[in-house]
Chain A
């Protein structure tokens, strides 16, 4: 039993987004804030100059201009105040995604105001850099307030815009942002901002609605080549002694309602005097442990990430091949027992996404190979993914590394995939993997 012909490439995989239900916190206190920006200051300055000119010259047109400038300030405050007072915004939905894919956040915007429509609402998540036009002049950069942005943002700045919500209406706005890294995108709250109608003052609603999504690692494309297998059952084939729908005879049993007439063992039934049916041995799925050997040396962060991507790719490939797969990360003591199915894949990808490797100090070099992943029967093999150079000591106690099956070269660092023996001669035999 072996995994034959593993091929790793760095092409962009397209995993389906993993959507998780978002916790909704009600009764959160919405904060309203008013920001007087450069535009407003300039406007006030002009208004003051006009007023000065009007009073000095007694020019009636200037008086009217001054009055109109004042009125616009007032109207601006009233319109935007009434507008924002009636706006209720909730983060309705957030998609999961893999690294490099787009996370989509959907907001539900309700305008409970009966008269005043809302215009030009910008929704941005807190803790991200402000979205500004691509052509930002130097002086604006000078005066722009730098937000508290995390050192390693998970997402690129999300930005949604609502052009109009009529009185009493509800609309949905979406923002999309590229997931930069795997991990937890923890969204503490979002800000609804508008400077409508005249841009004199920026008003914002800070909605502290917590939400979280997991950015799973981008799965490297791993093709498991079934042609190189030497077992009797094909690449991942094997037999088991349990009842199933295989071809191998397992046992006889009493007929029960619903059994297929084709399974009736007529001769045995005749001898026994009661109807017996044949049972067949089900083909037992082969199991593979994916063991990630991370933080094996200091400064291996990029290689670790690459190894995680390879691990994700192996899991996906195994799922595709019908192999049960488990995951072990000795560094974090993560152990996911082998299973199959989309749910299992989703859980495993989530776990890979949430892996917290801690400081990049090489403490993983002391990690021992997890005994649970060492196999112990003929159906189980394991694949160790080494971040960086191959660590020959990282292997099950009863076996040694049989081969380097693949090496992924990337700017981020080398990743070596090694097949280790599962402890049985058959497994060792078949553990010839070709890169």
Chain B
């Protein structure tokens, strides 16, 4: 494999990896297939070629293909709205261009363009997604592109040499002519060494920059520029019944949950299932066929909140916020510790993907929450659910402390729905059959009976069937179809409980069943979305106080079957992969999400004047920029027209650069030394020592006098020194004009003569 073939291989690998990384990031399997096929095809074609390039298509065909790619991109761009689509369109366009360029390689310049295009594609991949496969592909791409860029330099030089030699044919010469460039020993090894060193050094520096550059500076100055679209999960808070289709079994990871005791002991096992609450719905809207939360989006519920309670809260990153049962209050505020239940579970939740509603998940009502960044949240005091209200960056991590149940204490508002009707009657029949009389004292028994009834009498299916027109979906499930998915089971149970006066709400969230022993965390996938209920179980019949408890009406066998991860080798590999992905997500993608303040504070001290000044400056700049963005008229005219000015300047430079160069060249140079094109001679070695000795002795040699001639002037006053200087001059002439360096013996002799000259001049001085 010669240099050209090796370069060709590397170039194709770069194209392949860049295209694959973008297609993986943008989820474009067809484009990936096209890129792979084109790359392999061109590589195979180029292997048979002498120049290690595939045969180039005719120029007209290339132009036509490029035109088609441009039209395609333009059509896509016209239908786009956001930054993400723009990057996606641009990335696709670049992949198309790269594929076209693969069959238009005629000169080294084309190879360089191809390589540059792959870099653009890699950047587009970074802008599109930061998932582990994309990261792995880019990690493979980086050394490849470095090696290819290096090899391009050599390959291009050799190509130019071959072209130059072709222009200068040397037929009939008796002397051997080099057909290739001069090469030292073991070039491949040396190249690998330089390449590896460059990659490692660059990676180390890049990592240092990555770690040290403070985050938060310039955040959101230019809108969505550079932002990676956050992966979104299909989770929805609303429980909407009556739809048809199939439930998704998407295995995309949603979050990682680390559960510990307050003492720090990690909890969890493969057999233990956790219910992660997301949203709670306790009012059924039969018209819309949805469960709703009447308090959602409002600051408080008049029934349960004290006047000073609020549900909209801005949480500062790194601070732990204690959320009192009766509302929320920051740590600094005084609180009555007796009213707060003891935290029994600490959950550190890392959201790999965000939901459209901004739902935040936790095991039970949060007693305290510590986010890793400043968050604007809505925390519902009524049902203890949280959601953030502003868009987030990657990987939100927050720590929640909670009890084992929703120890709200006081009785909630009695249910108002299903107090009559078919479901009410049906629930009554079910309970009557089991001999259960609904009273506050027996609420747990009642709820359990309903749950057991549903579990045993109804079948679980992922297939969703819409009820006939005009029929309520819950009734359709209970009385007609008698099978459905988790939302039907939860809805039916909530409806039946509410019909019997038991406060009950439908909870949507995730079940965590997949415990990864490598990370000690639960991995929750999108397919783990689930719905269940929370029923208020009275513990004190007199006051009506009690707590909310979790009940899952779905058949446990089916839940186990659907949500429990499969075993075997593949599952083991998958858990490794998941652990790796978690590491990638938290260490790379989510590195230092806390933002710049902590970093800068750590580095410069929290009250550093520099930090304060910098912050003020950055804030002023950000404010100005945002103002200007909102009103473009505020932009100074020279900034507005700067592209035109720039173009004008470039044009002028192109037109008059020759004259400019001539004008600059005609001017005398600043350095007088170089103005006459003469480089002054700087003596070195033994000759310099001899001159220094002469100077020290008070008989400096003038610059214009050669040393041998100067020796004659010394003849009368210092004959010994003159003889020595003549000898030194001879050595100097030999080294300076003889066309070879002096050997060691000659140098030693010259040095000895200089030493003797120094001694002779010293004696002369002493005598004087």
Q: Least Cβ distance of B707 to chain A in Å?
A: 15
Separation in Å of the B373 CB from the closest CB of chain A? 10
Type the 1/0 row for A91-125, where 1 means its CB is closer than 8 Å to any CB of B: 00001000000101000010100001101111000
Q: Is A160 close to B, CB under 8 A? A: yes
Q: Does B107 contact A57, Cβ atoms closer than 8 Å?
A: no
**Docked complex: B167-221 residues within 8 A CB-CB of A:** 167-170, 172-173, 175, 177-178, 180-187, 190-191, 193-194, 198, 201-210, 213, 215-221
Q: Is the CB of A14 within 8 A of B172?
A: yes
Instruction: Kindly provide the distance from the CB of A227 to the nearest chain B CB, expressed in whole angstroms.
Output: 30
Count how many pairs of residues, one from A and one from B, have CB atoms less than 8 Å apart in the complex: 259
Chain A residues closer than 8 Å to B224, beta-carbon distance = 57
> With an 8 A cutoff between CB atoms, is A187 at the interface?
no
Given contacts A156-B167, A196-B153, contact A131 B178 (CB under 8 A): no
> For the complex, is B394 an interface residue (Cβ under 8 Å from A)?
yes
Question: A61-69, A275-283, A299-307: which one contacts chain B?
Answer: A61-69
In whole angstroms, what is the CA distance A159 to B156 when docked?
13
Contact of A163 among B164, B181, B393 (CB under 8 A): B181
B116: chain A residues at CB < 8 Å are 42
- Which residues of B are found within 8 Å of A166, using beta-carbon distances? 184-187, 190
Q: Cβ of A86 < 8 Å from any Cβ of B?
A: no
Q: Is the CB of B127 within 8 A of A161?
A: no
In the bound assembly, the distance between CA atoms of A75 and B175 in angstroms comes to 41
Tell me if B679 counts as interface (CB < 8 A to partner A).
Answer: yes
CA distance A169 to B665 in the complex (A): 38
Mark each residue of chain B from 127 to 154: 1 if its CB lies under 8 Å from any CB of chain A, else 0.
1001000010010001000100110111
Mask for A66-84, Cβ within 8 A of B = 1, else 0? 1110111011000100000
Docked Cα-Cα span, A63 to B590, in Å, equals 12
The answer to the question of B109 belonging to the interface, with a C-beta cut-off of 8 Å to chain A, is: yes
Which residues of A39-67 have CB atoms within 8 Å of chain B's CB atoms?
39, 42, 46, 50, 52-67
Contacts of B152 on A, CB cut-off 8 Å? 199
For A21, the closest partner residue in chain B by CB is: B739
Inter-chain contacts of A169 with B (CB < 8 A): 184-185
Within 8 A of A (CB), among B224-238: 224-228
B228 contacts A57, C-beta separation under 8 Å = yes
Q: Which of A54, A143, A156, A167 has the most CB of B within 10 A?
A: A54
Decide if A63 touches B213 in the complex (CB within 8 Å). Answer: yes
A65 to B156, CA, bound (A): 27
Does A208 sit at the interface, judged by CB under 8 A?
Answer: yes
Instruction: Convert A201-224 into 0s and 1s, putting 1 for each residue whose CB lies closer than 8 angstroms to a CB of B.
Output: 000000010000000000000000
Q: Which residues of B sit under 8 angstroms from A58, Cβ to Cβ?
A: 215-216, 219, 393, 595
Contact B183 A71 (CB under 8 A): no
**Residues of A contacting B736 in the complex (Cβ-Cβ under 8 angstroms):** 26-27
Query: Is B520 an interface residue when CB atoms closer than 8 A count as contact?
Result: no
Q: Specify which chain A residues have a CB less than 8 angstroms from the CB of B228 in the assembled complex.
A: 57, 59, 61
A163–B221 CA distance with the chains assembled, in angstroms:
47
- Which of A46, A54, A60 touches B394 (beta carbons < 8 Å)? A60
What's the least CB distance linking B654 to chain A, in Å? 6
Which residues of B lie under 8 Å from residue A26 when comparing CB positions? 735-736
The residue on B at minimum CB distance from A64 is B210
Q: Is the Cβ of A194 less than 8 Å from the Cβ of B153?
A: yes
The answer on a CB contact under 8 Å between B130 and A61 is yes
* Chain A, 110-160, CB within 8 A of any chain B CB: 111, 116-117, 119-122, 131-135, 137, 140, 142-143, 145-146, 148, 156-157, 159-160
Q: What A residues does B167 contact at CB under 8 A?
A: 156, 178
Total number of B residues with any Cβ neighbor in A under 8 Å: 97
Does chain A have a CB within 8 A of B160?
A: yes
Q: How far is the CB of B117 from chain A (nearest CB, A)?
A: 12
- By the criterion CB–CB under 8 Å, are A56 and B153 in contact? no
Interface centre among B158, B159, B205 (most CB of A within 10 A): B205
Is there an interface contact between B190 and A68, defined as CB atoms closer than 8 Å?
A: no
Check A74–B226 contact: CB distance below 8 A.
no
Contact of B126 with A by CB under 8 A: yes
> A56 CA to B159 CA in the complex, in Å?
42
Main secondary structure of the interface of B (DSSP, over half): helix
Given A56-B227, A102-B173; A29-B679 close (CB under 8 Å): yes
Please indicate the chain A residues that have their CB under 8 angstroms from the CB of B154 in the complex: 119-120, 163-164, 196
Interface residues on A, range: 35 or more
A171 at the B interface (CB under 8 A): yes
A142 vs B25: C-alpha distance when bound (angstroms): 39
Q: How does the 8 Å CB contact mask read for A176-202 relative to B, with 1 for contact and 0 for none?
A: 111000000000000000111111000
The reply to whether A67 and B206 form a contact with Cβ atoms under 8 Å apart is: yes
Q: A67-B208, A133-B159 are in contact. Are A56 and B164 (CB under 8 A)?
A: no
CB of B211 to closest CB in A, whole Å = 9
**Cβ contact of A164, chosen from B156, B187, B222, cutoff 8 A:** B187
| Assembly CA distance A155 to B209 (angstroms) | 50
Name the residue of chain B whose CB is nearest to the CB of A27: B681
Instruction: Report the Cα distance A195→B3, complex, angstroms.
Output: 18
Q: Are B591 and A60 in contact, CB atoms less than 8 angstroms apart?
A: yes
Confirm or deny: A255 has a beta carbon within 8 angstroms of a beta carbon on chain B: no
Shortest Cβ distance from A278 into chain B, in angstroms?
45
Question: How far is A121 from B202 in the complex, measured between Cα atoms in Å?
Answer: 23
Question: Of the candidates A70, A117, A122, A135, which one forms a contact with B209 in the assembled complex, judged by CB atoms under 8 Å apart?
Answer: A70
Which A residues are CB-close (under 8 A) to B198?
A: 72, 75, 79, 197
B588 touches A61 (CB 8 A): yes
Among A68, A167, A178, the residue within 8 A (CB) of B168 is A178
Residues of A within 8 A of B208 (CB): 67
* CB of A28 within 8 Å of the partner chain: yes
Inter-subunit contact B150/A75 (CB<8 Å): no
Whole-angstrom distance between the alpha carbons of A116 and B178 in the complex? 25
Q: Say whether A56 contacts B225, CB under 8 Å.
A: yes
Residues of A with C-beta under 8 A to B762:
none
A164 contact set on B, CB distance < 8 A: 154, 182-184, 187, 190-191
Name the CB-closest residue of B to A168: B184
Residues of A within 8 A of B665 (CB): 148
The complex places the Cα of A159 from the Cα of B393 at a distance, in Å, of 54
CB distance from B534 to the nearest CB of A (A): 37
Residues in chain B near residue A175, CB distance under 8 A:
164
Chain A residues with CB under 8 A of B173: 17, 102, 104
A125 to B206, CA, bound (A): 39
Query: Is there contact, CB below 8 Å, between A62 and B127?
Result: yes
Q: A165 in the interface, Cβ–Cβ < 8 Å?
A: yes
Q: CA of A250 to CA of B682 in the docked complex: distance in angstroms?
A: 66
Known contacts A64-B207, A176-B168, A177-B168: A197-B153 contact under CB 8 Å: yes
Q: How far is the CA of A160 from the CA of B160 in the complex (A)?
A: 9
A162: chain B residues within 8 A (beta carbon): 181-183
* Interfacial chain B residues near A119, Cβ < 8 Å: 150, 153-154, 190-191, 194
A172 to B175, CA, bound (A): 14
Indicate if the CB atoms of B182 and A161 lie closer than 8 Å.
yes
Is B119 on the interface with A (CB-CB < 8 A)?
yes
Asked whether, in the complex, the Cβ of A71 is within 8 Å of the Cβ of B209, the reply is yes
B170 A102 Cβ-Cβ under 8 A: yes
Q: What CA separation (Å) do A63 and B735 show in the bound complex?
A: 56
Compute how far the CA of A131 lies from the CA of B739 in the bound complex, rounded to whole angstroms.
Answer: 31
Is B190 in contact with A117, judged by CB distance below 8 angstroms? yes
A59 adjacent to B181 (CB under 8 Å): no
Partner among B153, B190, B201 whose Cβ is within 8 Å of the Cβ of A75: B201
Cβ–Cβ contact B168 & A59, under 8 A: no
Instruction: With both chains docked as a complex, state the minimum distance between the C-beta of A162 and any C-beta of chain B, in angstroms.
Output: 5
Taking the closest CB of chain A, its distance from the CB of B215, in whole angstroms, is: 6
User: Are A133 and B209 in contact (CB-based, < 8 A)?
Assistant: no
Whether B219 lies near A56 (C-beta < 8 A) is: yes
User: A133 is contacted by which of B109, B226, B735 (Cβ under 8 Å)?
Assistant: B109
Besides the known contacts A66-B209, A133-B108, A199-B149, 14 further A-B residue pairs in the complex with CB atoms under 8 A apart: A17-B173, A28-B679, A58-B216, A68-B205, A68-B206, A119-B191, A120-B154, A161-B181, A163-B182, A167-B190, A172-B182, A174-B177, A176-B164, A194-B153
**A–B pairs, 9, beta carbons within 8 Å:** A27-B736, A59-B227, A62-B127, A62-B226, A65-B206, A67-B207, A72-B146, A75-B205, A160-B182
**8 A-B pairs with least C-beta separation:** A53-B226, A67-B209, A71-B205, A67-B206, A55-B218, A57-B226, A68-B206, A71-B202
